[in-house]
Amino acid sequence: MPKTIAIVEDDPDQRGNYVDAIVKKGYSVTAYSNRQEALQGFENELPDLVILDIILGDEVDAGFEICRDLLVKSPSLPVIFLTERIAEIDKISGLRLGAWDYLPKPISLDYLAERISSLLRINEARGQSTSNTTAKLVGDLSLDQEALLVSWQGQPINLSGTEFRMLAKLVRVPGHAVSYETLMNATMQSLVTNNTINTHMRNIRKKFESIDPNFDCIKSEYGFGYRWSLK
């Protein structure tokens, strides 16, 4: 059964182009033109991945509101923002909500289809059994590179694909500082700045702290990047 992609986009021409490109890749697509229509659809069935514009009609933050509602229902659901709002504050807001990617318009339809395929592969791998894989152990941290799964003190932590790649770079050589540039490359995203990396790191820290309030292994190296501290 094909994976289902939901698109929430108020421009009918853009919406149609996205639908055509994604259907050609073999996915099932459900398209919505506004926030209310989308939320009603998601009440009936959640898709495997969602693409959201932020401005929908007269609602300037509709995409953010939809994302917040969706991730309450399904915290691990891959969400992509696809928008003309490319200010850094908007991207940071999207990442803080838990989006997996933030893409600027206009966009190559082929690139969009590949990003969808990549995120779906990541999410599928995380849902598979990892009994036959070997995880990297760093103190209380377990990092499974094949299934993209992370646990701390034996408890799983739900990281997005981007967060996982950044953490993997950070713990590759524990105790050594990792530059902003290296972490930017790990995100595989466009529009990445130091503040974007800082936002990702705050999100990662919060997820560890939700399990261990005393967690402090991620150290900031002022003006350079971050380091995974050995205890």
SS3 of 228, please?
strand
**Predicted confidence (pLDDT) per residue in 73-97, tens digit:** 998 899 999 999 988 889 888 888 8
The CA-to-CA distance between both ends of the chain, in Å, stands at 47
What is the model's pTM?
0.70
Helices (H) and strands (E) in the chain, counts: 8, 12
Average pLDDT, the chain: 90
CB 195 within 8 A of CB 95: no
Q: How many CB atoms lie within 10 A of CB 50?
A: 28
Structural domains for the chain: 4-126 (3.40.50.2300), 131-228 (1.10.10.10)
pLDDT score for 152? 94
pLDDT score for 133? 54
For 78, which DSSP code? -
Judged against a pLDDT cut of 90, whether residue 125 lies above it is answered with: no
Judged against a pLDDT cut of 70, whether residue 67 lies above it is answered with: yes
Spatial strand order of the sheet with 49-52 comes to 28-32, 4-8, 49-52, 79-83, 101-104
Residue 158 — pLDDT band, cuts 50, 70, 90? confident
**Predicted confidence (pLDDT) per residue in 20-38, tens digit:** 999 999 999 999 999 999 9
Judged against a pLDDT cut of 80, whether residue 43 lies above it is answered with: yes
Joined tokens for residue 132: 């036959």
Across 142-171, average pLDDT: 87
Across 127-141, average pLDDT: 69
Across 39-50, average pLDDT: 95
